[in-house]
Amino acid sequence: LAASPASIKPNAVVAKDGSGKYSTIQDALDKVPKKRKGVYVIYIKQGVYKEYITVNKTMTKLMFIGDGPTKTIITGNKNFVDGIPTFKTATVVITAEDFIARDIGIENTAGPEKHQAVALRVQADKVIFYNCAMHAYQDTLYVHTMRQFYRDCVVSGTIDFVFGDAAAVFQGCTFLVRKPLPNQQCIVTAHGRKERRQPSALIIQKCTIKADKDLEPVKKQYRSFLGRPWKEYSRTLIMDSYIDNVIDPQGWLPWNGDWGLKTCFYSEVNNNGPGSDKSKRVKWRGIKNITPQHAASYTAGRFLLGDRWIKPTGIPYISGMVSGGAAH
């Protein structure tokens, strides 16, 4: 599955130019056989697909392959300001177990003035995105629930642009902070763990956090933060990553007053870059300085049991801790 797309024989081909059996992704999904063995591969050729896609629960072991995240693009613009609940604004929704996507771009083009506008919502177990891009502004990537793995992806946005209550691990990903509205500040993550015993967290490992090209020249005019506690037991760890100076020295932002500041779990381990200096970070009870040994329990191998379901795909994957930060 990590082989070059050309070497994987697809079960269905989608192409805007008529060179495939299907001209829309939805047509291909409608024809996915109910009874099938193994992974069902849909190859989506280069093009811009203006569609809203849901991979529903019955479509387990499905794989989307594109021609690259800047070539195969699924785009929508549903948003909160136009009267749609955040949950229903996503361009692509995944609710099926064992879904894999690679080499695809997903976007919500509603823009910052339209507030919440999701590009991708994932609420299924054992979902993998590899070399994909998710672009929007507020609430780009809704990691709703269960175990998810993102490898070599790009996620861009402004406010809470990775949010939800999943157990999600990001490796080798780039988080691009975009230029917000004039009165806004930017927040990369908003994890939504509601109960202390929930086995969920956002784990950012060997990644890069930096300003997108629209924000870079004016980044000193806006404040940007690593995260804020959407729910009371919000849990986010950033390790072995490069943090650029787009991130405010305080690092983390309250959600509302002292909500979750004592019960959240936020930790930064072995990061580098000008935004990684922890000396001026906020001093909430929920900000933890943990050892690499403690951090190891939040790696993909242990936290997601990834050796069982990520490793067999052949997609690049770090099971445990890494030494040295990300390149930028």
Does any domain span residue 1?
no
Task: Compute the average pLDDT of residues 288-292.
Answer: 93
Task: Compute the average pLDDT of residues 5-15.
Answer: 85
pLDDT at 72: 99
Q: What is the CATH number of the domain that holds 281?
A: 2.160.20.10
Task: Compute the average pLDDT of residues 67-93.
Answer: 98
Q: What is the per-residue pLDDT across 20-69, written as a single tens digit (0 to 9) for each?
A: 999 999 999 999 998 888 999 999 999 999 999 999 999 999 999 999 99
Q: Contact at 8 Å (CB) between 321 and 294?
A: no
User: Structural domain tally of the chain?
Assistant: 1
pLDDT at 8: 81
Does any domain span residue 4?
no
Does any domain span residue 322?
no
Does any domain span residue 156?
yes
Does any domain span residue 318?
no
pLDDT at 35: 87
Does any domain span residue 130?
yes
Task: Compute the average pLDDT of residues 187-214.
Answer: 98
pLDDT above 80 (res 326): no
Task: Compute the average pLDDT of residues 198-214.
Answer: 98
Domain hosting 226: range is 9-313
SS (H, E, C) the chain: CCCCHHHCCCCEEECCCCCCCECCHHHHHHCCCCCCCCCEEEEECCEEECCCEEECCCCCCEEEECCCCCCEEEEECCCCCCCCCHHHCCCEEECCCCCEEECCEEEECCCHHHCECCCEEEECCCEEEECCEEECCECCEEEEECEEEEECCEEEECEEEEEECCEEEEECCEEEECCCCCCCCEEEEEECCCCCCCCCEEEEECCEEEECCCCHHHHHHCCEEEECCCCCCCEEEEECCEECCCECCCCECCCCCCCCCCCCEEEEECCECCCCCCCCCCCCCCEECCCHHHHHHHCHHHHCCHHHHCHHHCCCCCCCCCCCCCCC
Radius of gyration of the chain (CA): 19
Percent of the chain surpassing pLDDT 90: 94
Does any domain span residue 327?
no
pLDDT at 264: 97
At a CB cut-off of 8 Å and minimum separation 6, what does 282 contact? 250, 251, 252
* 125 tagged catalytic: no
Q: What is the per-residue pLDDT across 246-260, written as a single tens digit (0 to 9) for each?
A: 999 999 999 999 999
Does any domain span residue 42?
yes
Look over the chain and give the mean of its residue pLDDT values, rounded to a whole number.
Answer: 95
pTM above 0.75, yes or no: yes
pLDDT above 70 (res 2): no
pLDDT at 1: 58
Model confidence at 328, pLDDT cuts 50, 70, 90, reads very low
Q: Which of 160, 212, 240, 248 is catalytic?
A: 160
Model confidence at 325, pLDDT cuts 50, 70, 90, reads very low
Model confidence at 4, pLDDT cuts 50, 70, 90, reads low
Task: Compute the average pLDDT of residues 267-286.
Answer: 97
Model confidence at 322, pLDDT cuts 50, 70, 90, reads confident
Q: Contact at 8 Å (CB) between 143 and 164?
A: yes
